[in-house]
Amino acid sequence: MLNNRFLVACKSLYDEGKFSGIVKAVEFARETLGEETFPSGESLLNHSLEVALIVAEEIGLESDSVVAGILHSLLYESTGGQEKPLKIPADFGEPVLRILEGMSKINTLGTDTVELHPENFRMLMLALAGDVRVILIKIADRLQTLRNFDLYPVDSIRRVAVETNHIYAPLAHRLGLYKLHAEMQDLCLKYLKPEAYREVIEKLRETEKERSLFTAEFVKPIEEVLRSRGFRFEMKARTKSVFSIYNKMQKQNVDFDEVYDLFAIRVILDSEPANEKADCWTVYSVVTDEYQANPERMRDWITIPKSTGYESLHATVMGPHKKWIEVQIRTRRMDELAEKGVAAHWKYKGGKENKELDRWLTNIRDILENPEVNVVDFIDEFRKDVYSEEIYVFTPRGDLKKMPVGATILDFAYDIHSDLGDKCVGGKVNNRKVNLKHKLRNGDMVSVETSNNQKPKIDWLDFVVTAKARNRIKASLNEARKRDAALGKEELYRKFKNWKIELTEEIMRKLLKFYGFKLATDLYYHIATGKIDTLNIKTLIREEEKQAVKARLEEILLPESTKEQVSESGDDYMIIDSNIRNVNYKLAPCCNPVYGDEIFGFVTIHEGIKIHRVSCPNAPQMIERFPYRLIKAKWRPTATKSSFLTTLFLTGTDSIDIVSEISHVIAKDFGVQMRAINIESDRDEFRGVLKIWVHNVDHLEFLIHKLRNLKGITSVSRGDS
């Protein structure tokens, strides 16, 4: 029975006090969950105990994590695995409650049951940066689900497997849970690509006897030497995971028989702590004395362990029948660290993660807290960081820095500090000057040179390899682009103001369409960086306006009614009839043209054509800004008398009868009609404004002449309004 097996296992792993807490958690879970099941039909209690067993035996966490593993299913309702409020008694302890709270945050995001969502991934990783035990238990939870995939519907299996490949398997690898990582990948392959999985399994079964004979032949001389020297040890063969073999076949495009490193030989020593390193190197010398070593594939993770705490010596040697084989040499303590990763630090270091892992988690949090990070890109970079091999380089002060293989001096600069990376212009490696693209190698002494004039460039993304460098460069480029866009916007609005053109939404839409941009900020940026000349924008707008004016003119009047060929000059003119009713032009109120004045037409967008006097005060501005809107115009000779409104300004000596005298002159002229008269006196002088209707410009001039001859009138002039 699962319950008994679980308790027996825990009793052998934990002291009496810790074990009693585990028993208490089991009883509480049994009382609370009862017969509740997941939608798949699986018992929540059985699921809880299986997860807790993985946490205890296969990951090796302390008792608080085991208790959290038992109680984590209390976060679910039986109807669809929905979250419900925590009902965990406080006497289980603060560490347990804190772990469960972290798991609850992840569960409510639905990352267990849906295909990968970027926002869920971000939150998951941020939770990881809080307490690693939350993720370790989630890995156990996911592994238990994978082991029971037969209970799940096909569509659900695919979603969970895809998510596992993107999130949980990489996390297990990065946290040093290599065995669990391999099993996760194998199970995902089994259900996503069953034929490929069965093919590799069958090949391994067929070659099992051959591998056993080879292993026996290989280890015999080494065992004899080690026993003769008094070593206590264990040697065993470890076959690569099914997924690893399949992946290598795909990447190298080879058949199963051509994968040369199907398995490795592991030597596990029972050494005293003080003799661990010396014993491992002694065994290494025994192996390489017996078999020829490949120096290119030698890996020393004893002198400088991996960030997860992994320690081991790896040697690839030429074994019997000229077959290459990897030999892994480690102590019993190192082997437990290798199997259980960062989780083993609770046993060996009092529950504290090592500094390298803590630094990695901090980098993950820093990257994810950048609001502009592209999560899809980050997933790819995260996976590269997880699986990359490592090199070790030194700062000028002798501090050791761990970098992925292929890292450049620019990656190194960003690893030290973001500002240092932004200003990096190169540096020195082993006292030799190098450029930004220089790739670092193991043992390099690296210093960075900077310049305040340096700024991140987009081509830097082509050669940096770390996620931190890539995301910082992208963020810096975005910030610089925003600053440039702000300058470009300011320049464009200033130009439009100088051109006396309103920058409307319609104009902006046309500009974006013409240049192929989706956002105005892209246009502003290209203006600021000189890729778009504002003079070209002005020309474009003017051309658009010309086309609009032309279309408007054709819409207003038919060609035969808008122009008449004048043979003497060869120019086209708009002919203005003295009878201006029922036509698509109007006399401009700013200058009130009268029949006989020199005139021109001005095409407006919404009010048709306005007829202005050549002497109109607005004429110079219209000619300068809108020459393409101007139309030459002439009056059509006619005998019909029409009336035109105009304005006269008068000044003179004030007298009681000045208004009656002006009115008398106008009344005597039967062709003139007075619309309004306004006289203002100031001491002994007056100023008057007279609005009248006249037939033509000659008629107007005659009236002006008569008014000027009146006693007391000093000036009469034609007004513009």
Pairing of strands 263-269, 564-565: unpaired
Higher pLDDT, 262 or 195: 195
Pairing of strands 630-635, 599-603: antiparallel
Among 118-127, 202-211, 250-259, 567-576, the minimum mean pLDDT is found in 567-576
Among 189-198, 236-245, 555-564, the minimum mean pLDDT is found in 555-564
pLDDT at residue 360 is higher than 90: no
pLDDT at residue 560 is higher than 50: no
pLDDT above 90 covers what percent of the chain? 26
Instruction: Measure the CA–CA gap between 596 and 500, rounded to whole angstroms.
Output: 32
User: Taking Cα atoms as reference points, which of 54, 92, 65, 135 lies closest to residue 351?
Assistant: 65
Count each helix (H run) and each strand (E run) in the chain, helices first. Answer: 28, 21
Tell me the average pLDDT across 464-483.
87
Residue 549 confidence (pLDDT): 66
Residue 143 confidence (pLDDT): 95
Instruction: Measure the CA–CA gap between 647 and 662, rounded to whole angstroms.
Output: 14
- Split at pLDDT 50, 70, 90, the class of 564 is very low
Residue 124 confidence (pLDDT): 63
Chain centroid to CA 344: 36
With both helix axes pointing from N to C terminus, report the angle between 505-515 and 520-528 in degrees, rounded to the nearest 10: 70
pLDDT at residue 269 is higher than 60: yes
Higher pLDDT, 198 or 369: 198
Query: What ranges in 291-408 are assigned the alpha helix state H?
Result: 332-340, 345-348, 355-368, 375-387
What integer best gives the mean pLDDT of the chain?
Answer: 82
> 273 by DSSP, 3-state: which?
helix
Residue 114 confidence (pLDDT): 42
Q: Residue 398: phi, psi to the nearest 5?
A: 90, 5
Q: Do the beta carbons of residue 409 and residue 463 sit within 8 Å?
A: no
Q: What is the DSSP string of 151-201?
A: GS-HHHHHHHHHHIIIIIHHHHHHTT-HHHHHHHHHHHHHHHSHHHHHHHH
Amino acid at 618: N
Residue 449 confidence (pLDDT): 95
Among 43-57, 215-229, 535-549, 604-618, the minimum mean pLDDT is found in 535-549
Instruction: Measure the CA–CA gap between 387 and 173, rounded to whole angstroms.
Output: 8
Q: Note the pLDDT tens digit of each residue in 67-90.
A: 999 998 887 543 344 545 556 788
Tell me the average pLDDT across 33-53.
88
pLDDT at residue 568 is higher than 50: no
Dihedral over Cα of 47, 52, 54, 57: its sign:
negative
Instruction: Measure the CA–CA gap between 600 and 607, rounded to whole angstroms.
Output: 16
Residue 684 confidence (pLDDT): 82
Tokens found for residue 293? 């070593």
Among 160-164, 477-481, 584-588, the minimum mean pLDDT is found in 584-588
In the chain, the domains with their CATH numbers are 2-192 (1.10.3210.10), 204-348 (3.30.460.10), 355-466 (3.10.20.30), 467-532 (no CATH), 554-635 (no CATH), 644-718 (3.30.70.260)
- For the entire predicted model, the pTM comes to 0.59
Higher pLDDT, 308 or 709: 709
Residue 70 confidence (pLDDT): 93
Among 71-85, 149-163, 176-190, 215-229, the minimum mean pLDDT is found in 71-85
Tell me the average pLDDT across 672-696.
85
Instruction: Measure the CA–CA gap between 633 and 361, rounded to whole angstroms.
Output: 79
- Which range, 79-83, 355-359, 483-487, is most confident? 483-487
Whole-angstrom CA distances from 435 to 409, 523, 580 are: 8, 34, 79
Tell me the average pLDDT across 432-440.
94
Q: What is the DSSP string of 91-110?
A: GG-HHHHHHHHHHHHHHHTT
Residue 336 confidence (pLDDT): 84
How buried is residue 376: exposed, middle or buried, by Cβ count under 10 Å (0-12/13-18/19+)? Answer: exposed
Instruction: Measure the CA–CA gap between 338 and 344, rounded to whole angstroms.
Output: 9
Amino acid at 389: E
Q: What is the DSSP string of 519-578?
A: SHHHHHHHHHTTSS-HHHHHHHHHHHHHHHHHHHHHHHS-HHHH-EE-TTT--EEEEEPS
pLDDT above 70 covers what percent of the chain? 82
Residue with tokens 């076959």: 239
Residue 355 confidence (pLDDT): 61
